[in-house]
Chains A and B, each alone.
Chain A
């Protein structure tokens, strides 16, 4: 497989108005990923599958990731009024992400990692579905919808996979709070102890020992 920069420039030439960047991965020998914008995702996916030399016909893994909102510090742009602070803090709204790992069975190379990000975690959580390109994404995208809440447009059958249909939450999100059935915890400690104390008084043991 050619290296990622070559593929990135090949894709940028084929789709001139698409936003394709490289997300580096600091681990030695590991795969960096390509972040592509959702509008052109299906076309880029079809291109990756059909172009000779690339022929990524096997989508191995589709993962959902939840990135919470966090404060980031950025240097202020040049030319601002003198006397302002050197850095500015802003709240980076979190987003949900779908990560695709692609391999080629015919040419035996891979993996190519694609990332698609939603605009935010609250109101705009739709992404295009890549199931029409790779059928292996069918159940995995349903699972991401079930557990993270990303709606995939163009998915043939988008409904919950693992939880029951009346379930309302998205459990794998980082801010999910599970139902409170901590009435009886025989050896509670740490966070579980706090949850169990809400139900009945549990005499605390000697001081916490951390390993």
Chain B
């Protein structure tokens, strides 16, 4: 059917033969999450091929670490996944603790869980805001998300001195002890977050536009996800039950009662809903952690941080960061600096199946699919 008169150009678009068009989206693009480039081959608006190009933020973190002491690398790990510095720090501190045979104190383990779950909250709400910004709801959901995020960042700032680059974990515990009134403030903020989540969900989750733009888009099958090494909420949205907090039970996660939400279809809507449900589970963990926080030293008095020279050997240790499995592989030759320092970046490996998810979709959906994978370029390029 045509509403255009027969002799108009627009009425005859079906007769127009198109060429294949290659579009380079990025590295500067208002919708990509950082300097990330996608070279898309398009037929009209349908994607035929999509190749990601990285390296625009490659800051050779791994080479720098070979010339820095073990403690000196800690501030660099803040800048990997720059939204969650607390979990990056914890993953690295855990790796060095295993390498050098140190153990964190009981109170420090609880504090680490509290900070990691707060970090997960602010990361997931940030993602929800950015994803909705990409669908075209320009500004408003992001404003709500950042409003809540600012409250959590205030907590981090009053504790460690910096909003984002906290540099808070040490080998054997944490850098500083948390004051009593910090816990009271944090409890109020978490309680308000629960109310805010209800409000956010009421506005967004059942929204017709969000549903039609995210359901059925970018489906990822579980077999492909496992083979491609996808981890984190993206994997669980495809239905695979693999969360390191339950599988490895690192730290003291085995003491808390929380569930792992799983998706059914593996599309963008599932990836978004998994994060909302994970936020609710994080609030549960936080409530339990606040209630059972023990007294005690925040760092092992005999912990060795400065001038640490671990024995010869290697270690690979991983935790469940908000984006996926963040792991550190360290080889020590007995010196003050690591011989080889490798970061297993969840964002880079989660991008392995970007092309598979985007084939056959329109170019506007590619932006949403990228947003739902939740990448941070500091981690992809290191």
A198 CB–B CB distance under 8 Å: no
Task: Check A139 for interface membership: any CB of B closer than 8 A.
Answer: yes
Residues of A within 8 A of B (CB): 25-31, 57-61, 63, 65-66, 99, 101, 105, 108, 111, 113, 134-140, 160-164, 171-172, 211
The stretch of B7-15, B226-234, B251-259 in contact with A is B226-234
How many whole Å from B216's CB to the nearest CB in chain A? 24
> In whole angstroms, how far apart are the Cα atoms of A26 and B101 in the complex?
12
Of all chain B residues, which has the CB nearest A113?
B316
The 10 closest A-B pairs by CB, nearest first: A136-B229, A27-B313, A162-B55, A61-B344, A162-B58, A135-B228, A63-B342, A26-B313, A135-B227, A105-B242
In the complex, which residues of chain A have a beta carbon less than 8 angstroms from the beta carbon of B17? none
Interface string of B333-351 (1 = CB under 8 A from A): 0000000101010001101
Q: Across the interface, do B349 and A171 meet the contact criterion of CB distance under 8 Å?
A: no
Contact B62 A61, beta carbon cutoff 8 Å: no
Chain A residue with minimal CB distance to B52? A139
Of B62, B315, B327, B342, most buried by chain A (CB within 10 Å of CB) is B342
Contact A60 B344 (CB under 8 A): yes
Known contacts A63-B340, A99-B329, A101-B316, A171 near B63 by CB under 8 Å: yes
When C-beta atoms are compared, the residue in chain A nearest to B316 turns out to be A101
* A58 contact from B226, B331, B351, Cβ within 8 A: B226
Count residues on chain B whose CB falls below 8 Å from chain A CBs: 41
Chain A CB within 8 A of B47 CB: no
Give the residue name and chain of the A residue nearest to B315 (CB). A30
Residues in A whose Cβ lies below 8 Å from that of B318: 60
Least CB distance from A58 to B in Å reads: 6
Known contacts A27-B98, A59-B229, A61-B344; 16 further A-B pairs (Cβ under 8 A): A26-B312, A27-B311, A30-B313, A60-B318, A63-B342, A65-B331, A65-B340, A66-B340, A99-B329, A136-B228, A137-B229, A139-B348, A162-B58, A163-B55, A171-B60, A172-B62
Q: Are B329 and A25 in touch, CB under 8 angstroms?
A: no
Q: What are the residues of chain B within 8 A of A111 when measuring CB–CB?
A: 316
Q: Is B298 part of the contact surface with A, judged by Cβ < 8 Å?
A: no
How far is the CB of B44 from the nearest CB of chain A, in Å? 26
Given contacts A26-B313, A136-B352, contact A161 B226 (CB under 8 A): no
